[in-house]
Amino acid sequence: DADVTQTPRNRITKTGKRIMLECSQTKGHDRMYWYRQDPGLGLRLIYYSFDVKDINKGEISDGYSVSRQAQAKFSLSLESAIPNQTALYFCATSDSGDRRSGANVLTFGAGSRLTVL
């Protein structure tokens, strides 16, 4: 099984619908993130969480919300989806105790492709 699992992998929805993307991890990492990937724009941070009680906005949080249900689970919601939220979404984790490089090494899931019509 993958260390970071995202569901669904693909989703097509209509404008105005509520969508939830889910992420679970088996790495035991305390930090979790949601990124969005668009062609030519790279990876942009939506939300991040250091632990269950800590949620922070990233660069592009408008139109999104998150929930950290447990250390291993971090979900991303689009309350009312719009077409410009069509993108590839990635969940990632990292370990605050990682001292191999003294820096934040991200482990990504395989991505959730969302299309909003």
* Interface contacts to another protein, rule CB under 8 A: 4, 31, 33, 35, 40-45, 48, 50, 58, 90, 92, 94, 101-111
Closer to another protein at the Cβ: 21 or 109? 109
Angle at 30 between CA 101 and CA 55, to 5 degrees: 115
Closer to another protein at the Cβ: 15 or 104? 104
User: Can you tell me the distance from the alpha carbon of 61 to that of 46, in angstroms, rounded to the nearest whole number?
Assistant: 5
Q: Residue 50 in contact with residue 71, Cβ under 8 Å?
A: no
Closer to another protein at the Cβ: 77 or 107? 107
* Distance, first Cα to last Cα, the chain: 32
* DSSP H or E segment with residue 79: none
Closer to another protein at the Cβ: 20 or 43? 43
CB of 16 to another protein, least distance (A): 29
Q: Which amino acid is at 89?
A: Y
CB of 87 to another protein, least distance (A): 13
CB of 65 to another protein, least distance (A): 19
